[in-house]
């Protein structure tokens, strides 16, 4: 019997939607915190294939999600391209910055990334052996624009200001970076698929800050290039696109880029998405992550409402963004029970 997540991605309307959660392996789980401590720090955990596989499996064991997402980070690719990367506890990622053509010249090429990323491919191989037969393995990468925002600013920024400034002030350097990220993301995801990933997801967390033509050039076009090349190399590979906070730009996105599923954030209404987006593709989402902190009847009501709203088309239940470290693990169980038992 085909796995439920793959059936939804193939366009089937199921009586109960398959369910998984962004950042399901994470700091809200005590067993994650213990394994991260064993690894030493977050990046050491990402590059320790046995422990990265272990934290991927933890939420599957605890909750029986329908999918597992490879434990890694979107910023491992820039590191493989030669950027310095480190994480400041309590603050987030830091990277060396790309501010002009000399920064681009210092980076490696798209085919030079695999030695560095070999532990990630090994994590995928371990997972494809160890996951339960009914659980789908999702690989992922950041979309070029989102990864570029971190490589340009050297950190997360509230408005992606430095990336927009380079885009406008030195378009040539900016486009060279988007191009390198587009081609290397194809190589990176293709290797994840060869290692055993059954689905891939492209995270464009900052797509919403690109407007108008800029959205089409730097969010839509790179996604389309990545997806069409992956589908040419791996016929039938299901792909989830997540142009977060795209708003009206969600309309037609899945068809335009060739994605099988559009993941939506919780700033758009489920009613609107069911009517406007779901006829084009499977929809993934879109419970507000805050319910995993607050729980109670509001969590139950919202979960039921989202399941009901998307029940007439292909749907994968998920949050609108990653679960936060202050979430209560019992609320995750309550969400799953509500999705599965009504």
Binding site for ligand CP3 (CB under 6 A): 22-27, 36, 42, 69, 71, 73-75, 92-93, 140, 142, 156, 203, 205, 322
Which residue's CB is nearer to ligand CP3, number 24 or number 309? 24
Examine the residue annotation and report whether 204 is marked as an active-site residue of this protein: no
Angle between helices 329-341 and 49-63 (to 10 degrees): 50
Asked if 27 is an active-site residue, the reply is yes
Asked whether the beta carbons of 55 and 30 are under 8 A apart, the reply is no
CB of 41 to ligand CP3, least distance (A): 8
Instruction: Give the shortest CB-57-to-ligand CP3 separation in angstroms.
Output: 12
Nearer of residues 117 and 274 to ligand CP3, judged by Cβ: 117
Strand partners, 95: 85
Nearest to 127 by CA among 118, 114, 139, 117: 139
| Options 73, 204, 260, 265, the catalytic residue | 73
| DSSP letter (8 states) at residue 155 | B
Residue with nearest beta carbon to ligand CP3: 205
The answer to whether 36 is a known catalytic residue is yes
CB of 101 to ligand CP3, least distance (A): 26
d(CA 46, CA 55): 10
The least distance separating ligand CP3 from the CB of residue 110, rounded to whole angstroms, comes to 21
- Strands 92-95 and 85-88, sheet pairing: antiparallel
Which is catalytic among the residues 32, 150, 188, 218? 150
Number of CB atoms found within 10 A of residue 34's CB: 11
Closer of 145 and 310 to ligand CP3 (Cβ): 145
Closer by beta carbon to ligand CP3, 71 or else 253: 71
Long-range contacts (CB closer than 8 Å, 24 or more residues apart) made by 266-272: 266/319, 266/320, 266/321, 267/320, 270/305, 270/306, 270/309, 270/310, 271/309
Q: Is 150 a catalytic residue?
A: yes
Rg of the chain (C-alpha set): 19
Which residue, 42 or 251, is less far from ligand CP3 as judged by CB?
42
Query: To the nearest whole angstrom, how small is the minimum distance from the Cβ of residue 91 to ligand CP3?
Result: 8
Reply yes or no on whether 167 is catalytic.
Answer: no
**Residues belonging to the active site:** 23, 27, 36, 73, 150
């Amino acid at each position: 019997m085909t796995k439920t997540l793959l059936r939804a991605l193939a366009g089937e309307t199921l009586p109960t939607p398959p369910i998984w959660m962004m950042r399901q392996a994470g700091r809200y789980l005590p067993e994650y915190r213990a394994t991260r401590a064993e690894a030493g720090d977050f990046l050491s955990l990402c590059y320790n294939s046995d422990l990265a596989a272990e934290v991927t499996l933890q939420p599957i064991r605890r909750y029986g999600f329908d999918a597992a997402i490879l434990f890694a980070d979107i910023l491992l690719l820039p590191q493989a391209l030669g950027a310095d990367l480190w994480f400041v506890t309590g603050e987030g990622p830091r990277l060396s910055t790309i501010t002009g053509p000399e920064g681009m010249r210092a980076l490696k090429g798209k085919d030079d990334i695999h030695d560095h990323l070999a532990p990630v491919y090994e994590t995928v191989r371990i997972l494809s052996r160890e996951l339960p037969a009914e659980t789908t393995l999702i690989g992922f990468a950041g979309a070029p624009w989102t990864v570029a925002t971190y490589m340009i600013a050297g950190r997360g920024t509230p408005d992606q200001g430095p990336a927009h400034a380079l885009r406008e002030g030195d378009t040539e350097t900016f486009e060279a970076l988007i191009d390198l990220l587009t081609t290397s993301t194809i190589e990176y995801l293709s290797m994840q698929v060869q290692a055993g990933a059954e689905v891939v997801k492209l995270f464009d967390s900052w797509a919403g800050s690109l407007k108008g033509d800029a959205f089409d050039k730097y969010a839509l076009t790179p996604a389309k290039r990545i997806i069409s090349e992956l589908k040419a190399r791996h016929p039938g590979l299901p792909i989830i696109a997540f142009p977060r906070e795209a708003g009206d730009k969600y309309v037609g996105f899945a068809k335009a880029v060739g994605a099988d599923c559009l993941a939506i954030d919780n700033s758009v209404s489920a009613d609107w998405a069911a009517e406007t987006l779901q006829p084009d593709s499977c929809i993934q989402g879109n419970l507000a992550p805050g319910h995993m902190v607050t729980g109670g009847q509001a969590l139950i009501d919202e979960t039921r409402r989202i399941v009901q709203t998307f029940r007439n088309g292909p749907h994968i239940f998920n949050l609108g963004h990653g679960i936060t470290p202050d979430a209560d693990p019992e609320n995750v169980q309550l969400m799953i029970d509500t999705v599965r038992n009504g």
